[in-house]
């Protein structure tokens, strides 16, 4: 959505508000984005970056008021404007530590999407979410949850909850060596496992076809 950028990191999400639109326009757009992608943001840890925009304590409180009722943890705020920094402290918000930026050249003909590689099994009660792709080198056990705005690839058994394309991307896919989730979601579509247990051991891929989620062999068409 114009004026709002979301970037994932291992420490959480970074939500950046543009500087060209008015604050009222951004708050309206942010409210819409949060409502449309409630599952993606619920329980997320967020750092809010407003750049050089000058905000008052009331402005900061208005932004925080959109996040907190949705069970979003505001880890801290980032701004290059000294007045905004003082206003954030006056509003009771903490200033986030600066993160070092890492850049790499990408050929212009290629579209780059960031990903998070998790080298461990996710156990019951654990939840990970990322603005990009997620690859798990391990299992996703029952009771664990993986939420990504892009694709989800599990190099192991997926037996927990997986939500790919959580920001509305119906082109996203979920792949696993053993695909047996308790719940599978792609964008706004939901698929639940059949009542009878499946014993397929071949790698499989779930994607949206037509108006529903279908499961097919991972190497189909490749």
The CATH number of the structural domain formed by 115-217 is 2.160.20.70
- 19 is written with which tokens? 């500087």
- 113 is written with which tokens? 């999407």
% of the chain beyond a pLDDT of 70: 84
* pLDDT tens, position by position, 124-141: 998 888 888 999 999 999
Give the model's pLDDT for residue 194. 58
Q: How confident is the model at residue 103 (pLDDT cuts 50, 70, 90)?
A: very low
* Sheet containing 12-17: order of strands: 4-9, 12-17, 45-49, 73-78
Class of CATH domain 4-90: alpha beta
Q: How confident is the model at residue 120 (pLDDT cuts 50, 70, 90)?
A: very high
Pairwise pLDDT comparison (169 vs 40), residue with the higher score: 169
Give the model's pLDDT for residue 196. 52
Q: What is the mean pLDDT of residues 71-97?
A: 87
Contact (CB, 8 A) for 122 and 144:
yes
| Mean pLDDT over each residue of the chain, to the nearest integer | 83
Helix/strand/coil for 13: strand
**For residue 109, pLDDT beyond 70:** no
Residue 86: alpha-carbon gap to chain centroid: 30
Give the model's pLDDT for residue 12. 76
Distance between CA atoms of residues 14 and 12, nearest Å: 7
Give the model's pLDDT for residue 174. 96
Helix axis angle for 57-67 and 23-36, nearest 10°, is 10
The domain segmentation of the chain, as residue ranges, is 4-90, 115-217
Distance between CA atoms of residues 222 and 151, nearest Å: 17
Of 78, 66, 74, the C-alpha closest to 34 is: 66
* pLDDT tens, position by position, 38-74: 878 877 888 889 989 999 999 999 988 888 878 788 8
Residue 93: alpha-carbon gap to chain centroid: 23
């Amino acid at each position: 959505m114009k004026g709002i950028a979301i970037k994932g990191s291992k420490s959480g999400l970074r939500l950046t508000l543009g500087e060209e639109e008015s604050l009222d326009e951004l708050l309206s757009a942010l409210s819409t984005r949060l409502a449309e992608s409630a599952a993606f943001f619920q329980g997320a840890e967020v750092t809010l970056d407003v750049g050089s925009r000058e905000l008052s304590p009331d402005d900061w409180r208005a932004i925080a008021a959109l996040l907190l009722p949705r069970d979003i943890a505001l880890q801290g705020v980032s701004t290059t404007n000294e007045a905004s920094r003082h206003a954030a402290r006056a509003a009771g918000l903490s200033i986030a530590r600066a993160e070092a930026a890492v850049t790499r050249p990408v050929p212009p003909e290629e579209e780059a999407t960031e990903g998070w590689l998790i080298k461990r099994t996710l156990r019951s009660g654990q939840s990970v979410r990322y603005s990009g792709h997620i690859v798990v080198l391990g299992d996703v056990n029952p009771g664990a949850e993986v939420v990504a705005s892009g694709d989800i690839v599990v190099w192991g058994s997926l037996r927990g909850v997986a939500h790919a394309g959580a920001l509305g991307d119906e082109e996203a896919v979920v792949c696993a060596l053993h695909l047996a989730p308790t719940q599978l979601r792609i964008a706004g579509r939901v698929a639940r496992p059949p009542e009878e247990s499946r014993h397929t051991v071949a790698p499989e891929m779930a994607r949206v076809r037509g108006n529903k989620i279908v499961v097919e062999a991972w190497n189909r068409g490749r």
